[in-house]
A and B are shown apart, each in its own frame.
Chain A
């Protein structure tokens, strides 16, 4: 089944409306919570008057910092698996306001409309304090980030090599560019929501919008002093998250608090605007100075990146060092800094750090290619890294050259005339742009329970979510192949913290993580099945070893005489009808992989049209070639890539959260003013998967496809806009007014 374009197994549930998301569980005697958010950015609450709200018919309670129940007092208890260094923000802790839109009260009523209306009756008076929210005004405050556990996944830039300043000065071809990115919000279409079922005696069942069921289970248990076994978090369907679900969000905290306080079932659904005082992609400033010799070989790379942090946590991304993962250069200098602002803590948003960095890097590479009068693709090929430029280690696999060549050919790159503005179509300038992409190949430990049930079928259990990535389908394919069983006889249960451990779903890691967990567990299950088969009276398998048998269609066969077999059903029956099961942990081969560098790669080619008078920009077609190892399901993987390409177009041309620095507030907190591409904005998108075999990376040879389709796109679009217009726009998004 691996390699086949299987349609999503949960497809029917999704197209008929039967798939249930966090706010959709029918729970008896449900109460509705509605959040009251701060209207100031920084200061203190001097008075909070809930009397009018509480007097309203149907309102049960208004929880504020003044009457909230006790929660854990130790900061460490709030530290979820993805918490950056610092102190986790605690809603309703005290009278202090740290950012605009901070949740300050939760109104709980018999119905949603009453709760929403009562929330408008809560009177809050503040004493305001001055604040800083604009990164550009605070660049001089930038400093090195604090280190912590999260630093392991996002290491700081490596130390300098050679002598950058001298080499930059001496090189004949050089570019010095600044890039600025505003804030972006994940904006999944599903509103963040939690339904908490109060099971009595400190036991909770929680339907939550999250990318990590175990992460949120442990968070709730720790914060509210419950036993972790008494907290069950379910998240089988997630209406998009894109990173926003990597950490527990405030509706979970408030919903659980209300449920425990009132000993009732409670639902809290955030409004769209309440999802802006929320995790986001941080504002960033980048300065890149790249230089090359007369032959177009890079000599010096300097990348300084400054990002926004909150006043309480040092969220970090990997930004500054990506160029040297792609291109060799003898002199390098990479710096990454943070400036603390009075905003909520940022969080990973699809291709965090990578897409920020690669926009700047690949636009600078394009600029440098023009300075050196070399074709941009040829310039990349001259600087192609056969081994990891940072460590000198070989890659487990790297088919980037194939990506370049196949995508360029299909795109028709050779038809490009290099001079900006030299290609036209009617009243439009036509621009061709390209860029390279790179992303890590992560794998986390994952524990899988595999069992054969009485009917001889395979059941697998793991706590992982499927946020629309295709995890259910892909995992079923992997398991079916591993046991030689048709997919319809495999059931994969997921999205439940009660199942064996999985990390949160992020970083393009889950196919490798859960997939390897399944391979390991099913291999162990096969051994166990054979052992049980041997124990059957008169078993023909008594003296055979693992190599002598094959597993196919729910039976074990003798390889040399396939007529000798025993079915899984017979084995379970001989086991007293009890399922044959095993639970095993799959993990990355850390020691072996130390000798190698690992990454996914991509090449994006984009055509834009720019109206000669109105300067409206349209991406008319785009091709992305991806090298990500084995592609288990070309249908769902393709959707991951085209979806990422839409994100790339969006980042380049559409989306931004606009911050009013005088108010310290985001001004476009809705989907009409936070622009994402609509159907009319998206034209021809094509995907090529390079034939990349990787026997080293993991048991499945997979490297992940969730983010690699995004990283190259914004630069490819921006480079195409330059080719069409001759204008280098280094701030995203590129709106037509920037070209006027």
Chain B
């Protein structure tokens, strides 16, 4: 067992984990932050996307011990209290989900993608969001929601 510290959604957690515990399982099973989803556990679907030190990462391909001392933002930490993040609001308005299971990963990924500042066009956004699968086929709603926020002047 190793003792690590994770700063998740601006709260400090000290936890004991074995090296084989993924960040995803640490969040879901140890910290009970189940907003981060497991869809493949192989880095193929994007449902487990979280922000780590401001960058989007796949928490299923990350061991918890690798992130000792890091700042992690999960979907539970995207809103400011009761005020939804503009992306969260846009996802609701554009009906950018059906079952909702890929949604936390899509939103965290979109926050990270917009932070990266590489996307210029709708085509860029589609390409840079293509690591996040949606089986319900809400693709157009998701991209519409992100474009609205992007064109509305970014994040905050």
Contact = CB atoms under 8 A, between A and B. Distances in A.
B102 to A, nearest CB: 5
A645 interface: yes
B35 A16 contact: yes
A527 to B, nearest CB: 36
A24 B134 CA distance: 20
Contacts, number: 174
Given A14-B103, A15-B91, A15-B107, A240 B135 contact: yes
Interface string B89-132: 00111010111111110010000000000000001011101111
A190 interface: yes
Contact of A11 (B44, B92, B102, B137): B92
B56 interface: no
Nearest to B34: A24
Interface string A659-674: 0000000000011100
B133 to A, nearest CB: 6
A16 B84 contact: yes
Interface size classification for chain B: 35 or more
Nearest to B76: A17
A191 B35 CA distance: 14
A74 interface: no
A646 B42 contact: no
A8 interface: yes
B59 interface: no
Given A10-B100, A639-B98, A189 B134 contact: yes
A112 interface: yes
B29 A111 contact: yes
B92 A7 contact: yes
B76 A240 contact: no
A13 to B, nearest CB: 8
Nearest to A641: B137
A18 B40 CA distance: 20
B92 A272 contact: no
Contacts of A21: 34, 37, 101
A241 to B, nearest CB: 8
A408 interface: no
Contacts of A11: 91-92, 97
Nearest to B100: A14
A635 B75 contact: no
A12 B78 CA distance: 12
B44 A113 contact: no
A11 B79 CA distance: 14
B38 to A, nearest CB: 6
A646 B140 CA distance: 10
B47 to A, nearest CB: 6
B99 A239 contact: yes
Given A18-B35, A113-B25, A671-B39, A679 B132 contact: yes
Interface in A683-698: 684-685
B138 interface: yes
Nearest to A9: B92
A240 B101 CA distance: 7
Contacts of A670: 40, 42, 44
A242 to B, nearest CB: 7
Nearest to B29: A112
Contact of B99 (A13, A24, A238, A671): A238
Contacts of A239: 37, 99-101
A113 B65 CA distance: 15
Contact of A635 (B33, B41, B95): B95
B35 A647 contact: no
Contact of B102 (A12, A189, A646, A681): A189
B135 A678 contact: no
Interface stretch (A61-69, A398-406, A463-471, A560-568): A463-471
B95 A636 contact: yes
Given A272-B42, A470-B98, A15 B88 contact: yes
With most chain A CB atoms within 10 A of its CB, the pick from B92, B99, B138 is B99
A8 B99 contact: no
A112 B40 CA distance: 15
Interface string A119-154: 000000000000000000000000000000000000
A20 interface: yes
A642 B141 contact: yes
Interface string B66-88: 00000000111011000010001
A55 interface: no
Given A21-B101, A189-B133, A639-B138, A15 B92 contact: yes
A188 interface: yes
B150 to A, nearest CB: 14
Interface string A157-180: 000000000000000000000000
A466 to B, nearest CB: 9
B79 A16 contact: yes
A679 B133 CA distance: 8
Contacts of B143: 679, 682
Contacts of A112: 25, 29
Nearest to B142: A679
A679 B129 CA distance: 7
Contacts of B126: 679-680, 682
Nearest to A24: B34
B34 A16 contact: no
Highest count of chain A CB atoms <10 Å: which of B21, B47, B125, B136: B136
A480 to B, nearest CB: 19
A59 interface: no
B8 interface: no
B103 A240 contact: no
B95 A190 contact: no
13 contacts: A21-B34, A112-B29, A190-B39, A239-B101, A272-B39, A272-B42, A272-B44, A671-B39, A676-B135, A678-B133, A679-B142, A680-B123, A682-B143
| Pairs A-B, 4 closest by C-beta atoms | A17-B35, A646-B137, A239-B101, A468-B99
Interface of B: 18, 20-21, 25, 28-29, 32-42, 44-45, 47, 74-76, 78-79, 84, 88, 91-93, 95, 97-104, 107, 123, 125-127, 129-143
Given A113-B18, A189-B37, A240-B135, 17 more contacts: A12-B92, A13-B100, A14-B97, A15-B103, A16-B84, A16-B88, A17-B36, A190-B99, A190-B101, A240-B101, A639-B136, A643-B98, A647-B137, A671-B45, A672-B44, A679-B127, A679-B142
Interface of A: 7-8, 10-21, 23-24, 26, 111-113, 117, 187-191, 237-242, 269, 271-272, 467-470, 635-636, 638-640, 642-647, 650, 670-672, 676-682, 684-685
